[in-house]
Structure 1
């Protein structure tokens, strides 16, 4: 099995790439962070046994343009020096930027970084793929740092209205699609642009406000019938988690019993289903890359556990049929549901896509498993 290292492995795109490798290729990459680059000997040690490197580490913002430009060059040079000291062919994929062909501090730094790193890799007999990525977005981006999308998602989720200045179309690529391109480029020797989808900055804000009005305020699943809508919705959902949960819908009672909605969808296809679970038994223990899923406890006592993939902290919710409630499972979070009561647990589940046994978007993993270091 190919041994892969990811620089910037604990950052936004690095985390998404590591998650994708785990889900689709059963690969646990070597995730390299700031401490590894601060110690050249440690970096050599951690890279000594790998076959390929996905170089994502970079500097987007700093106190000065010079720090941004030189910082990206320094990261590439540090990696190139480590590979040279190891002295064997190691393939490298570089997560470059479409700004590498633009005359600004970030673009100049990324361009020189690609040239420097590519020359070192090829001198050693390795293959170098230089992928120019557009603006990225996705779950768990840092507001005020990774992209305006992350900032908008967190602001709207918090009930605030960010302003848009200089509205224009911008090309956006979801982090999972960027990760797929990087992984697919392993072992190739290319320089090419990875394209996203153009969308207006103001339109992104409008969609987040639509999601907020329907999802946060009414508990309704909005129109997620296109990949862009679904990916932006999952980005918004990540910004609301876990503070939003659980949610208790309005219960309408009469002499016949209680009536309450579980899921109301404004768009797309989906499926809702029920389950019964015996005391002490557990369901789930998996995660999804894209699927939107809701767990609704109708009867009995349940405990829902969630752990963000490649992290250790576990979020736990206790739900009871005495107060019917639901929790939505965020993408890239391992989750389960367990009957912690003395009677049968009745749960309703809803997913935004019909079950496809050939491509179920469901990857097994236990909550108790420790995240990779």
Structure 2
């Protein structure tokens, strides 16, 4: 399809166009405030669908609300009528259209204008009253409190919260884009006459700040967010998008001795922890067993052997391992075990254990294999 996207350089516009390009089956007419107006005339002649995302939400003067959210909509619809183009139109509005403030009034005026246009021309129109959107490419101090918090906390700046108990309904940009693609196919999600995105997550301002601070601290704690919780997963992705380009990497604490090193990489409260073990040639590590703690070893470089002995048996079991053939070796409970580097270079092993190490309850008992 030939698709016109107004507000193409805005938060929603950038994300929508990126996904439309991924599909590689549409011709996209991107229009923003810096695009010459004569382009819009041509786009309105050719478009087979219009995503009208352009708007103003933080102008210097309140008069700009009506000019940007009503005036430009009127100009767009006039150009479509002039071209006798009755293609479907999706309008980006806001839940604030229900409020009597300059922004809400301008959004409501744009909605009414579009409804009148539909009655006059017979064109299909879809009005979406979006909640508080967040995600990559949003602007701090402009689009959303999420963007502002992520930007400032990532840079160590102070974030002040007046009332942490205030709850906000948040909506993730990927869910918005997926809904707009459904609308493009003529299958919008409707409620009370408006298009809406079903995936909404309520969160208090206090919880929002706490989560984003925990993302920053995770480089020290090595704790992953709860990825089975939708808003936490999406907020973490959003936070990472606000890292400055010199912040992408961070050091880990390497526990180094004459045998090699052991470095914890990630930890979770319910999925255990992941570490990297480096053994020098001829070195044997381990010789312990566990009651409940279980592990998985995978040698990714070098060659070695993992030995097991059930603690009530004399029989030794050997598994030879190599980075040339990646395989996972389970470490069952009740077996004392060790790992020896049989090669002439360092052996690197990825180790997963089902619970983070607790020095108060180590569940680790030294016994030679």
Mark yes or no: TM-score above 0.5.
Answer: yes
Larger RCO, structures 1/2 (Cα 8 Å, 6+ apart): 1
In 2, distance between residues paired with 1:251 and 1:81? 66
Q: Which of 242, 248, 255 is the matching residue for 1:245? A: 248
| Correspondence 1:255 to 2:247 | no
Alignment map for 1:23-102 (pairs within 5 Å): 23=22, 26-27=25-26, 29-36=28-35, 39=37, 41-102=38-99
Alignment map for 1:142-157 (pairs within 5 Å): 142-157=139-154
Specify whether residues 142 and 266 from structure 1 end up closer, same or farther in structure 2 by C-alpha distance, changes over 3 A only.
Answer: farther
Which one has a bigger Cα radius of gyration?
A: 2
Between the two proteins, the alignment pairs up a number of residues equal to: 275
Specify whether residues 228 and 26 from structure 1 end up closer, same or farther in structure 2 by C-alpha distance, changes over 3 A only.
Answer: farther
Task: Note the C-alpha offset of 1:20.
Answer: 2.7
| Correspondence 1:119 to 2:116 | yes
Paired residues of 1:44 and 1:85 also in contact (CA < 8 A): no
Task: Note the C-alpha offset of 1:181.
Answer: 1.9
TM-score by length of structure 2 reads 0.67
Structure 2 regions of 5+ residues with no counterpart? Answer: 277-299, 302-347, 353-369
Q: Name the stretch that deviates more: 109-118 or 187-196.
A: 187-196
In 1, distance between residues paired with 2:9 and 2:349? 35
In 1, distance between residues paired with 2:275 and 2:21? 28
| Correspondence 1:109 to 2:112 | no
In 2, distance between residues paired with 1:205 and 1:7? 33
Paired residues of 2:255 and 2:263 also in contact (CA < 8 A): yes
* Partner residue in 1 for 2:225: 222
Q: Alpha carbon RMSD of aligned pairs, Å?
A: 3.0
Paired residues of 1:61 and 1:145 also in contact (CA < 8 A): yes
Alignment map for 1:182-331 (pairs within 5 Å): 182-186=180-184, 187=186, 191-192=193-194, 194=196, 196-215=200-219, 217-266=220-269
Structure 1 regions of 5+ residues with no counterpart? Answer: 274-297, 300-345, 351-373
Does the residue aligned with 1:142 lie in a helix, a strand or coil? coil
Specify whether residues 20 and 122 from structure 1 end up closer, same or farther in structure 2 by C-alpha distance, changes over 3 A only.
Answer: farther
TM-score by length of structure 1 reads 0.66
Does the residue aligned with 1:123 lie in a helix, a strand or coil? helix
Q: Once superposed, which parts of structure 1, at least 4 consecutive aligned residues long, lie more than 6 Å away?
A: 268-273
* Partner residue in 2 for 1:9: 8
